[in-house]
Amino acid sequence: MSVRSKVIEAIQQIAREQHVTLPALSDDLSLHETGFDSLAFAILVARLEDETGVDPFTISEDAAFPATVGDFVRAYENVPA
């Protein structure tokens, strides 16, 4: 499974658990508009770390938290293996 589909699947899984109705997940959708609160993002980052072995937001001290879904996916795609 590609990194992108792992991320999207995890977002959809958490949305189901948290009873969040997601809009269409286009790359330029702002993360704010996903309806996720900070707890949902914390869960997402923790689960992706378990699945992919990386947490791009802890690795880099100065990395800004992404603004859009596309930025978020790229943060995982761009982590050196």
Q: Which is nearer to another protein, 2 or 50 (CB)?
A: 50
78 CB-contact burial (10 Å; exposed 0-12 / middle 13-18 / buried 19+): exposed
The C-alpha angle with vertex 50 and arms to 45 and 2, in degrees rounded to 5, equals 80
> Which of 57, 66, 70, 79 touches another protein (CB under 8 A)?
57
Residue span 23-52 as binding mask against another protein, x where in contact by CB under 8 A, dash where not: ---------------xx-xxx-xxx--x--
Q: Which is nearer to another protein, 21 or 24 (CB)?
A: 21
> Which of 26, 65, 67, 77 touches another protein (CB under 8 A)?
65
Give the DSSP H or E segment for 8. helix 3-17
